[in-house]
Amino acid sequence: MSEINVELKPLPENNNVYVLTLNGTLDTHTVPGFSEKLSNYIKEGKTKLIFDCKNLKFISSAGLGTLVSALEDIEEADENGFIKICSLSEDIFDIFEMMGFSELFDIYNTFEEAKKSI
């Protein structure tokens, strides 16, 4: 069975920004749990998120949908809120680009770049 491990840590330099490290696959089995976690974070007021996808192996369309609704929730809750995505694998970046998600999210090659952009 596929699984996704989500680790949430505040950025040492800025406690308002949280780093979400994704490890595993986001598919039919793992998306519902992930989606619930993510919406809880946003409800708790964590509206500035960096998704570190270095170890994300696969993302399904439902997984992408979760990211979109998270972004909409964040924009509703906090006008300064954001989702930055970094360290996507080439395959997943292609999917992002193909579906037009690269226009929607701020995507960075490395975590450092994502951090600098804040």
Partner 1 sequence: MAKQYTISFRIKIIFGFVFIALFTIFLAQSVSQNYVRKILISQLLKNLNFIPDIIYSAKQAIQWNNELLIADKVIQLSKNEDVESIIILKENNEVYISNDPNQIKVGSIYEIKFSDYKKAGEYLVDYEEKELSLIKDFYYENKETNKQNKYYIVIKLRINKIINTINELNKKFLLIGIGIIFFGISLAIPFSSFFSKKLIEISQAVRIIGQGNWDYIIPISRKFKDEIDDVAAEINQMAQDLKVAEHLKIEQEVIKQELQIATEIQHTLLPKTNPQFENISTYSFYRSAKEVGGDYFDWLEVSENLLGIVMADVSGKGVPGAFVMTMMRSTLRSHSKNIDEPAEVLKRVNAVLKPDIKKGMFITVWYGILNLNTYLLKFANAGHLGLIVFKNSTKTIEIYRPKGMSVGLVKPEQFNKILQPMEIKLDKGDIILQYTDGVTEAYDKEENLFGDERLKNIILEHNEKSPKEIIEKIVEAIEKHAAECEQSDDIALIALKIEK
> Cα separation of 110 and 98, whole Å?
20
Q: Work out whether 101 is an interface residue with partner 1 (CB under 8 A).
A: yes
Positions 19 through 58 that interact with partner 1 (CB under 8 A):
27-28, 35
| Stretch binding partner 1 (CB under 8 A), from 11-19, 45-53, 94-102, 107-115 | 94-102
Cα 101 vs. chain centroid, distance in angstroms? 12
Q: Which two tokens stand for residue 112?
A: 């450092």
User: Which of 6, 24, 62, 106 lies at the binding interface for partner 1 (CB under 8 A)?
Assistant: 62
Q: Smallest gap, in angstroms, from Cβ of residue 115 to partner 1?
A: 26
Asked if 3 interacts with partner 1 (CB under 8 A), we say: no
Q: 74-79 long-range contacts, Cβ below 8 Å, gap at least 24? A: 74/42, 74/47, 74/49, 77/42, 77/45, 77/47, 78/45, 78/47, 78/48
Where does this chain bind partner 1 (CB under 8 A)? 27-28, 35, 61-62, 64-66, 68-69, 72-73, 98-101, 103-104
